[in-house]
Every structure is written in C-alpha cells, then in structure tokens.
Structure 1
Amino acid sequence: MTEHDVDRGHVDPDGDWLDRTDGHLLLRKLSVEEFDNNVYVVACTRTGDALLVDVAARPERLAEALEGISPVAAVQTHGHWDHIRAWDGVRDDLGIEVWGHPGDAELFPRPVDRELQDGDRVTVGELEIEVLHLPGHTEGSLLYLVQGEDRPHLLSGDTLFPGGHGRTTTPEDHERIMDGLDALFDRLPDETHVYPGHGDDTTIGTERPHLAEWRERGW
C-alpha cells in the first residue's frame, strides 16, 4: 500500500483493512463485496470499546475486524439494501445491537435496538460520537462525527462523497440534502476527514469550493 493510498483511504473490496489513528481514536476502514461498501470500526484505544458503522455484508469478515475490540453497538448510516446485508449475522451470531434512525424503519430488515436522533451523543470508551441526521439520500440518513486529537472525523455514509452528495430521487430531496450540507460545512473546519459509504476518502476543505456547483447541477 502506497502513501498515496493511505492519504485517500483506499481499500479494495474484501482486501486488507486500513487503520488510521488520531490520539486515542482508531478508525479502521474495510470494504466488502461487489458494491465496494465501506465498513468502519471507530474505537477508543484506551479502553478497547468501539462502534461498528454499517452492517453491509460478510459478518465473518466484520467479526475479524473486531477481534480484540469490544463493540458497543453497530450503527447504520442508512437503510439501503447494500448497507444492511449482514444485519442478522451481526445481531444474532455476533450478539451486537444495531442502532439507526426511525426514518429508515421501512428499509431496515427488522426493528433497530435503539433509535438514534439528531444531536445524540454516543459514548465509546473515552470518545464521544455525535449523531447528525441529514435526510435526502434516505429519510433516515445519519452521519457520525468524532473529534480526534488533530482533527474531526466524519463518517458520511452515502450522504457525502468526493465530488458530491449521494443519489437523490426528487428535486426536493436534492434541496434538503444541499441545505443540510451547507449547514454542516459551515460548522466543520477544512481539515475534517470524511469517510464515505463507498470509495476513497476526502476532506471538507477539498469539497467546500464545489458546494454551489453541486446545488446548481441538481438531482
């Protein structure tokens, strides 16, 4: 793996995972199966507690990524099919609760163990992870924000990618997601590292100059 790969957070589907540390924050990224779904482990290195972000697929692979770590829960960025295929394996076989936003209840294969709302804060060891509700890609789309020693880290699901927001199906949803992104960019510094639901990473500073053109190009 080259230094360039590390900088952009490139991982291959079903290949090696990538670990990034910032103070006592460990953020592990891996990709599973043909849709190149990113799954993340957000862990506190001082306590070994962690969150699993998105139960996309291959629960046995997710279990490997959690070895030596104590998961508090698995949290969903949203309920699209490619992000929930390991739900039963994670919940029943691994015994890890799955949490998500009630707005995506009709997309989830079963009820969540805990409903998450905008502004909730999830304690993971000595880390505090803020829940951000930003609808548009789906009604219940969530992002997760955690502060490292050097910079904030944002797990954006399919709401924010390098080069734009995730798919929307109506002009109204495009406006909603853009309004939410405008507010989000207003509060986050350029150095914020962004971890999307598919593909490579980006930063708020890289994407900030393009917000107006994203809104202009429409849904």
Structure 2
Amino acid sequence: MATYTGEVTPGGPPQVRELTHLTITKVAVDPQMSNNCYLLRCRGTAAQLLVDAADDAPRLLSLIGDAGLTTVVTTHEHWDHHRALAAVVAETEPAVIAGTADAGAITQQTGVPVSRTVGDGDTIRFGDCTLSVIALAGHTPGSIALRYDDPDGHTHLFTGDSLFPGGVGNTFGNADNFRSLIDDVETKVFGALADDTWFYPGHGNDSTIGAERPHVAEWRARGW
C-alpha cells in the first residue's frame, strides 16, 4: 500500500492510513470547494464512522460499502460540509452526531434530525474505537474536533474548519469569534496535544501540531 501523505484531490483516489486498530480513508469531493471526508473503520469490528458527508453521496456510499455506517459526524453547520448527509443517512441509517450549538442549523439545512448532540469532553464510540470531542467555538458556534488516541502510536485529530496548516478557520472578520477560536485552539489543541499529533482538516492537506506550533503567536497577532 502506498505511503499515506494526506494529499487528495476531488475525483482522485482516496488516501488510506492503516493504524493498529483503525483505518482512516480520506477523500476530497466537489472541485469547487474541495471538501475532505474521512471514513474511519474499526479494524476489530468493521464498524464505520464518517466525518462530514460533504458532497458526492454515490462516492461516499461506495467507500462505505456493504459494511454499512454506524455513525456520521458533522463537524459544523456550514452547508458545504453536509450536502450529502441526507442521502447517506437515508441509505445507511447511522446515528447522526453534531455539536450542540450547530445541530439545529444542520437539521434546518438538511432535513436530517441530529440524533445526538455533543460538547467538550464527550466521547463517540464505534466498534472498539473511541473519539473524544473538543469544542472549538468561533468558525461556527458549535464546531467540534474529534481526537483519536492511538494506543500504539500518536494522536490523530479531525479538525473540521477550525484548524488548518497555516492558521485557524475563517471567522469572517468578527473579532470576538476570532478570539474565541484562537483561545480554544491554543488551549485545547496546542496546550493539550503533543507535537507528533497528526491533524486532518476539512479542506486541503494535513499537518502536525509540531509543525504549526511555532506560528500560533503569529496567527493571534495578525488577527485571522
């Protein structure tokens, strides 16, 4: 199997990362928005969890395959991260999870009821694998990140649009939202996770906490 790099393009092949207990499949959808979707598969039980049914339901359903889907998590309320949610849920009937403050907007926009809302410190279990929820308010009120602590390796973090290589998510010129997001990211992510933590954003390439840590003060100073 090819070495995982995290570099994917809409319409291109997925990238697959095999951990001891978890398989991570990353795929990009929609040439305009280039959203990342992540299918997580528990290797012990074959239970699967999808992070952001962003678009292209046929492709996501093909990745899910006959194993079905236990859970789908939407990282935040923005339209480009849940365009395929209704179709994926109709076909696979998973539990539907979102951050508490964004759940109402997700249901309003998609017509899909959120079966469970989550906040800081909550856990999401699928098969033998567990994700911990980190609330990162600012890009949207209910944005969440998902932390997986590999018992045989380093931490993996799915950040939605709250953290990217090169900065935090867009807060659209709102100074209060930016302060909220940079404070949460600095405290809950950089203040809590080791440098070898690999993170997977909602668009574009992955990075590590160690690669981005030296620049957090610059991000705060520039205000975006």
Same fold (TM > 0.5): yes
For residues 25 and 145 of structure 1, the distance between their equivalents in structure 2, rounded to whole angstroms, comes to 13
- Residues 138 and 23 of structure 1, relative CA distance in 2, 3 Å threshold: same
Residues 48 and 68 in structure 1, CA contact (< 8 A), matched pair in contact too: no
Over the aligned positions, Cα root-mean-square deviation in angstroms equals 1.5
Aligned 1:153-192 pairs, distance under 5 A: 153-169=156-172, 170-183=174-187, 184-192=189-197
Residues 37 and 83 in structure 1, CA contact (< 8 A), matched pair in contact too: yes
Aligned 1:19-168 pairs, distance under 5 A: 19-34=16-31, 35-108=33-106, 109=109, 110=111, 111-148=113-150, 149-168=152-171
**1:101 CA drift (Å):** 1.4
Q: Secondary structure at the match of 1:194?
A: strand
**1:49 CA drift (Å):** 0.8
Which residue of structure 2 aligns with residue 213 of structure 1? Answer: 218
Structure 2 portions without partners, runs of 5+? none
Q: Secondary structure at the match of 1:11?
A: coil
Residues 69 and 93 in structure 2, CA contact (< 8 A), matched pair in contact too: no
Share of identical aligned residues, percent? 39
Task: Note if 1:203 corresponds to 2:208.
Answer: yes
**1:15 CA drift (Å):** 1.5
The amino acid that maps onto 1:139 is P
For residues 134 and 175 of structure 1, the distance between their equivalents in structure 2, rounded to whole angstroms, comes to 11
Q: TM-score, normalising length from structure 2?
A: 0.92
For residues 19 and 2 of structure 2, the distance between their equivalents in structure 1, rounded to whole angstroms, comes to 20
Cα deviation, 1:166-199, whole Å, max 9, x if unaligned, reads: 1003101111111111112111000000000000
Structure 1 portions without partners, runs of 5+? none
Residues 48 and 68 in structure 2, CA contact (< 8 A), matched pair in contact too: yes
Matched pairs, number: 216
**1:68 CA drift (Å):** 4.5
Runs of 4+ in 1 over 3 A off after TM superposition: none
Cα deviation, 1:98-125, whole Å, max 9, x if unaligned, reads: 2101211343123312111211111121
Q: Secondary structure at the match of 1:10?
A: coil
